[in-house]
Amino acid sequence: MAGPSGVGTRTFSQHIADRQKGFPEARGEFTALLQEIMVAAKVISREVRKAGLIDALGLTGRMNIQGEAVQILDEFANETIIRNVGHTGHLCVLSSEENAEPIPIPDQYPRGGYVMTFDPLDGSSNIDGNVSIGTIFSIHRKRSSGTDGTLEDLLQAGRDQVAAGYIIYGSSTILVYSTGRGQGVHGFTLDPTVGEFLLSHPDIRIPTDGRIYSVNEGNTGRWDEKTRKVVAGLKGSDNPRGEPYSTRYIGSLVADFHRNLLYGGIFLYPPDAKHPTGKLRLLSEAAPMSFLAEEAGGKATTGRERVLDVVPKELHERVPLIVGSPREVEWAERILAS
Ligand code: AHM
Ligand code: MG
């Protein structure tokens, strides 16, 4: 069914090609890279959709760099992205949440001018429970002078991203992306009958205030006093709304973020005694989500500084993440920074 401004008819490919026309100096490399991400997303979505039928659930029996059990689908998604996106000549190096070291481009493939960091299957501990999971990506320009990308190319602040996005494998498969600089955040829903991502959420704006808070309250006993004050405030009336917020927490960042982006509210993964610098990875989780949040009119902070200003020192660095509607995030930041 067609809607206004191409809703329901405009494909992701048409959308990004149109955007490229606005930048006559663009050589198409960036557009091609986004296309490849979209193709990888379709392949991963296909496998996720039939996971229970093809013996693709469960564990590989190995642990990743983070000490987490690797799921069969984690590995499939990781390999799909490396092969479909990494080997097509637009990237000079990649980094995945599943790999300890940067992923070089094999000798036989060409190199390009971009760098990509990704989380192949975020929330993967939820896979067997049929809960929504997702893929997150973040793209920077290459900075170093040689042909191959280096660690320096990967360790860039979130504010220098040229694009970021995620694909959520939920009741539908939706791709949400932004190229920043006021270009907006746009969502496309995969129509399985035509095999295309069609524009479904043009120019997403996060509500300036919300009614939802999202945090793993099982960690309360591990939080410091300020974090407890924020969450107690959200449950009581000492908050910007003046009445309790509703709790919504899935434990799958892509799904928690996507819901709050559409409905408004605040998501927190604060530091705790088990995760002293927070649990979420700066490069593959916090920075891309913060880029999208800010582009949609929201805010994202570590509690001390803007997430997009944090310059990573290591590939798998973790940061606290407080992200969502500006009213709630600014309020929480005031308490946390006091
Ligand atoms: P993953 O990338 O290994 O799946 O871990 C990250 C996930 C996020 O999706 C989610 O926000 C968080 O871990 C949930 O953590 P917890 O189970 O501690 O609440
Ligand atoms: Mg993750």
In the chain, where the domains are located:
4-201, 212-337
Q: How far is the CA of 285 from the centre of ligand 1 (A)?
A: 10
Report whether pLDDT(2) > 50.
no
Report whether pLDDT(130) > 90.
no
What are the tokens at 200?
């479904």
Q: Which atom, in ligand 1's list, is nearest to the CA of 269?
A: 11
Q: For residue 261, give the amino acid letter.
A: L
Question: pLDDT category, 313, cuts 50, 70, 90?
Answer: very high
SS3 327: helix
Q: How far is the CA of 19 from the centre of ligand 2 (A)?
A: 29
Closest Cα to atom 12, ligand 1: which residue? 251
The rounded distance, in Å, linking the Cα atoms of 320 and 266 is 13
Longest dimension (CA), the chain: 61
Domains 4-201 and 212-337 in one fold: no
Testing ligand 1's pocket by substitution, the residue of 60, 217, 269 carrying the most ligand atoms inside 8 A of its CB is: 269
Q: Which atom, in ligand 1's list, is nearest to the CA of 124?
A: 4
The rounded distance, in Å, linking the Cα atoms of 337 and 305 is 9
What are the tokens at 13?
């490919």
Question: pLDDT category, 19, cuts 50, 70, 90?
Answer: confident
Report whether pLDDT(180) > 50.
yes
Question: pLDDT category, 4, cuts 50, 70, 90?
Answer: low
Work out the mean pLDDT of the chain and round it to a whole number.
Answer: 93
68 Cβ closer than 6 Å to some ligand 1 atom:
yes
Closest Cα to atom 16, ligand 1: which residue? 251
279 Cβ closer than 6 Å to some ligand 1 atom:
yes
Q: pLDDT digit string (tens) for 42-85? A: 999 999 888 666 666 666 666 766 666 667 888 999 999 999 99
Q: Average pLDDT of 183-210?
A: 96
The rounded distance, in Å, linking the Cα atoms of 147 and 113 is 9
Ligand nearest to the CA of 216: 1
Report whether pLDDT(3) > 60.
no
Does CATH place domain 4-201 in 3.30.540.10? yes
The rounded distance, in Å, linking the Cα atoms of 317 and 319 is 7
**Could you give the C-alpha distances from 120 to 29, 79, 136, 224, in angstroms and in order?**
22, 9, 7, 32
What are the tokens at 137?
């990506």
Testing ligand 1's pocket by substitution, the residue of 285, 290, 323 carrying the most ligand atoms inside 8 A of its CB is: 285
User: 168 - beta bridge partners?
Assistant: 134, 174
The rounded distance, in Å, linking the Cα atoms of 43 and 8 is 21
Q: How far is the CA of 55 from the centre of ligand 1 (A)?
A: 24
The CATH architecture that domain 212-337 belongs to is 3-Layer(aba) Sandwich (3.40)
The rounded distance, in Å, linking the Cα atoms of 95 and 72 is 19
CB 315 within 8 A of CB 102: yes
Report whether pLDDT(301) > 70.
yes
The rounded distance, in Å, linking the Cα atoms of 333 and 338 is 8
The rounded distance, in Å, linking the Cα atoms of 307 and 158 is 7
The rounded distance, in Å, linking the Cα atoms of 322 and 300 is 6
Q: How far is the CA of 322 from the centre of ligand 1 (A)?
A: 14
Q: pLDDT digit string (tens) for 247-271? A: 999 999 999 999 999 999 999 999 9
Q: Which of 136, 135, 167 is nearest to 290 (CA)?
A: 136
Of 83-92, 122-131, 235-244, 279-288, the one with minimum mean pLDDT is 122-131
What are the tokens at 302?
């570590």
Q: How far is the CA of 253 from the centre of ligand 1 (A)?
A: 6
b (16+ CB within 10 A) / e for 174-206: bbbbbbbeeebbbbbbbeeeeebbbbbbbebeb
Of 60-74, 160-174, 220-234, the one with minimum mean pLDDT is 60-74
Q: How far is the CA of 337 from the centre of ligand 1 (A)?
A: 25
The rounded distance, in Å, linking the Cα atoms of 259 and 324 is 10
78 Cβ closer than 6 Å to some ligand 1 atom:
no
251 Cβ closer than 6 Å to some ligand 1 atom:
yes
Q: Which atom, in ligand 1's list, is nearest to the CA of 218?
A: 19
Question: pLDDT category, 1, cuts 50, 70, 90?
Answer: very low
pTM recorded for the entire structure: 0.94
Q: For residue 110, give the amino acid letter.
A: P
**Could you give the C-alpha distances from 123 to 130, 198, 334, in angstroms and in order?**
11, 25, 29
